[in-house]
Amino acid sequence: MNQFSISRLLLALLALPGLFLFSQCDPDEVDPIDTGEDPQTLSCNAYLVDEFNALPVEDLSAVENADVLFLREEEKLARDVYLLSKSLYTLPIFDNISQSEQCHMDHVALLLDRYELFDPTTGKAEGEFLDPALQTLYDDLAAQSQTDLVGALTAGALIEETDIVDLKEAIDAADNQDVILVYERLLQGSGNHLRAYFKNLQNQGVEYEPQVLSQAEFDAIIDGNQP
């Protein structure tokens, strides 16, 4: 899952000039800015802990172990890119979703703590990663986010598309109930975030086209039918 998803996103970044179409945008018809605020993650682990603790501790497979570690860093990557964009642009979406991504990191930390796994983010500052491929990916996304506001919003949409694909693959590969619970919560949040980035790009006169998800999957998420 890991190398494939990273390669997929890097290829999408190379295709950035063709990611979106510009359209005329009537200022009087622009929807209010969607901040991407995710009510389910604003309280971080508080709403999840009781349900999580009620589930049994089961042996992790090698795949589950690897996925937990990867997703911990992948959520950090999203948070760090959005914190960078927050420092550059005034749109509230970057602040709100970076906070939500911190909550997603906290959700994965529940699994790290329960199964006594090494935390790959320990000692890593913003923009620093243990996984070399994720480091390269962060550097590319950070560069894209610094080009302009549309570039930052587009990077956000790309990240969320990739998160959704990775989480679905991780859910399919997992059988531990607690692992699936955490991943399903992250998946819900990523769908909310993708919708928010899509709306904000529309408000900039940009019609974003999916690069990782199929058109059918993308449309279903934007319409609120999944994940």
Write out pLDDT tens, residues 85-137: 999 999 999 999 999 999 999 999 999 999 999 999 999 999 999 999 999 99
Amino acid at 131: D
How far is the C-alpha of 163 from the C-alpha of 187, rounded, in Å?
A: 8
How far is the C-alpha of 8 from the C-alpha of 14, rounded, in Å?
A: 10
How far is the C-alpha of 145 from the C-alpha of 82, rounded, in Å?
A: 9
Q: Which domain holds residue 121?
A: 2-8+48-221
Least confident of 9-18, 102-111, 157-166: 9-18
Amino acid at 33: I
Task: Please report whether residue 24 resides in a domain.
Answer: no
Residue 148 clears pLDDT 60, i.e. is over it: yes
* CB 179, CB 64: distance < 8 Å: yes
Q: What is the mean pLDDT of residues 21-46?
A: 48
According to the model, what pLDDT value does residue 71 have? 98
CA 161 remoteness from chain centre: 7
How far is the C-alpha of 199 from the C-alpha of 176, rounded, in Å?
A: 35
Q: Which two tokens stand for residue 199?
A: 């709306």
> Is it true that the peptide bond before 32 is cis, omega within 30 degrees of 0?
no
Task: Please report whether residue 124 resides in a domain.
Answer: yes
* CB 107, CB 150: distance < 8 Å: no
Task: Please report whether residue 34 resides in a domain.
Answer: no
Task: Please report whether residue 15 resides in a domain.
Answer: no
Q: How many domains does the chain have?
A: 1
User: Percent of the chain scored above 70 by pLDDT?
Assistant: 80
The CATH number of the domain holding residue 92 is 1.20.1260.10
H or E stretch covering 124:
none
Least confident of 3-17, 39-53, 171-185, 192-206: 3-17
Angle in degrees, CA 126, 130, 195, rounded to 5: 55
How far is the C-alpha of 199 from the C-alpha of 91, rounded, in Å?
A: 12
Residue 2's pLDDT band, with cuts at 50, 70 and 90, is low
Task: Please report whether residue 150 resides in a domain.
Answer: yes
According to the model, what pLDDT value does residue 119 have? 98
Task: Please report whether residue 196 resides in a domain.
Answer: yes
Task: Please report whether residue 21 resides in a domain.
Answer: no
* CB 181, CB 55: distance < 8 Å: yes
156 burial level (CB within 10 Å; 0-12, 13-18, 19+):
buried
Q: What is the mean pLDDT of residues 34-40?
A: 52
According to the model, what pLDDT value does residue 57 have? 97
Average pLDDT of the residues of the chain: 87
Residue 22 clears pLDDT 50, i.e. is over it: no
Task: Please report whether residue 52 resides in a domain.
Answer: yes
